[in-house]
């Protein structure tokens, strides 16, 4: 099972009126465990107003920087993001899980590629890490970044991006799109969507030249851009995307139970220890049921996105209501997202240690 470690907050830096970046002191002996790939995220665990919150935040620095820094944008009514923007300070202690995530690609010195990076709002966080890695490692690769925000004062990392443009003027093409501020060139006004990408194709980027795309922003933007880019001839396998969340399901879906009776017997193995309990069909996910029985399990988004709650189904049948994270090979190998899994059969055996 993935574990968390207490670390000290090194710096909380205001990036925009609604966003702070937070860096951490990673002790020397943990540095190899905390090594990461560009585009990956950390899970932060903190008790806020008496509630233990688990949240994922993408690293915004290059893996070679010996720095661990995330950026946290305040969400209206958001518990953790408001706490981070208003209360978190240098010297505070926080629990961190080791880096995770598949929003990455092998960036290698020998490659010479053309990358299209598309981000909106806080979606720039993993994209900045990827951008820095490409520019630093692949010395002949080209990058076109399209970055959408409501207004100039909301552009996270604006100065860092302009600075990168100064350092790599021939290899980085920077395009800011603003939705709530007047822009002289009309095409840079509005939101990033499929229509905007069609308008940009053969003008700002050339879809026929694009080797890889990295997309991060709201779900609707990702889905629209993904389908437009594949219409423009970029195959899905070359389009990487990261979702920061999906709508949390309030009522569990009614799964079709294949066994008689009203209860499933759940058996969980975590850190070598086995826990057993009964779970009434169609009430709670396996993760929620275990957490409410005080079983210590890894999780963050509870939305089928981050894969922190991944475990192997050894016995039984479950229905996964959402899956934005597991690859087909992982499903084939029996892995499930426990935050989205509801029992269908009377005996369920799940292993978090595999």
Ligand X SMILES: Cc1cc2nc3c(=O)[nH]c(=O)nc-3n(C[C@H](O)[C@H](O)[C@H](O)COP(=O)(O)OP(=O)(O)OC[C@H]3O[C@@H](n4cnc5c(N)ncnc54)[C@H](O)[C@@H]3O)c2cc1C
Residues engaged in binding ligand FES (CB under 6 A): 299-302, 304-309, 325, 337, 339
Torsion of CA 221, 227, 232, 233, to 10 degrees: 130
Smallest gap from residue 158 Cβ to ligand X (A): 16
269 binds, among ligand X, ligand FES, none (CB under 5 to 8 A by kind): none
Sequence-distant contacts of 272-280: CB under 8 A, at least 24 apart:
272/353, 279/343, 279/348
Is the CB of 156 or the CB of 178 nearer to ligand X? 156
- Work out the number of other CB atoms within 10 angstroms of the CB of residue 96: 21
339 binds, among ligand FES, ligand X, none (CB under 5 to 8 A by kind): ligand FES
Is the CB of 81 or the CB of 346 nearer to ligand X? 81
Q: What angle do CA 216, 64, 155 make, to 5 degrees?
A: 35
If you count them, how many residues does the chain have? 354
Q: SS3 string of 206-261?
A: CHHHCCEEEEEECHHHHHHHHHHHHHCCCCHHHEEEEECCCCCCCCCCCCCCCCCC
Is the CB of 75 or the CB of 331 nearer to ligand X? 75
Q: Give the integer Cα–Cα distance in Å for 13 and 88.
A: 10
x/- contact string, 214-253, with ligand X (CB under 6 A)?
----------------------------x-xx--x-----
Q: Give the integer Cα–Cα distance in Å for 15 and 72.
A: 9
Is the CB of 121 or the CB of 325 nearer to ligand FES? 325
75 binds, among ligand X, ligand FES, none (CB under 5 to 8 A by kind): ligand X
Is the CB of 19 or the CB of 97 nearer to ligand FES? 97
Applying CB under 6 A, does 301 fall inside the site for ligand X? Answer: yes
- In the range 124-163, which residues lie near ligand X by CB under 6 A? 125
- In the range 43-102, which residues lie near ligand X by CB under 6 A? 53, 55-58, 70-73, 75, 77-82, 101
């Amino acid at each position: 099972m993935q574990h968390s470690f207490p670390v000290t907050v090194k710096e909380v830096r205001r990036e925009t009126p609604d966003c702070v970046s937070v860096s951490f002191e990673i002790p020397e002996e943990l540095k190899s465990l905390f090594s990461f790939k560009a585009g990956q995220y950390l899970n932060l665990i903190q008790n806020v107003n008496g509630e233990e919150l688990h949240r994922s935040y993408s690293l915004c620095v290059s893996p070679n920087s010996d720095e661990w820094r995330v950026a946290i944008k305040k969400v209206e009514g958001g518990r953790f993001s408001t706490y981070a923007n208003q209360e978190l300070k240098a010297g505070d202690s926080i629990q961190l899980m080791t880096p995770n995530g598949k929003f990455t690609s092998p960036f290698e010195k020998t490659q010479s590629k053309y990358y299209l990076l598309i981000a909106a709002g806080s979606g720039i966080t993993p994209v900045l890490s990827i951008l820095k890695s490409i520019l630093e490692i692949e010395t002949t690769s080209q990058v076109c970044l399209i970055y959408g925000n409501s207004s100039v004062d909301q552009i996270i990392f604006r100065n860092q991006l302009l600075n990168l443009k100064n350092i790599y003027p021939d290899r980085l093409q920077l395009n800011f799109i603003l939705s709530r501020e007047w822009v002289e060139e009309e095409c840079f006004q509005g939101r990033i969507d499929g229509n905007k990408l069609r308008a940009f194709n053969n003008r700002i980027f050339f879809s026929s030249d694009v080797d890889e795309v990295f997309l991060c922003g709201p779900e609707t933007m990702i889905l629209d851009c993904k389908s437009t880019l594949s219409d423009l001839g970029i195959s899905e396998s070359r389009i990487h995307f990261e979702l920061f969340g999906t709508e949390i399901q309030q009522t569990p879906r009614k799964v079709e139970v294949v066994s008689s009776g009203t209860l499933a017997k759940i058996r969980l193995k975590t850190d070598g220890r086995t826990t057993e309990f009964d779970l009434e069909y169609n009430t709670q996910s396996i993760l929620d049921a275990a957490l409410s029985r005080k079983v210590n399990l890894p999780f963050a988004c509870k939305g089928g996105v981050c894969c922190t709650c991944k475990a192997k189904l050894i016995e039984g049948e479950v229905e996964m209501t959402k899956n934005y994270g597991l690859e087909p090979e992982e499903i084939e190998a029996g892995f499930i997202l426990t935050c989205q899994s509801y029992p269908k059969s009377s005996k369920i055996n799940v292993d978090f240690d595999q």
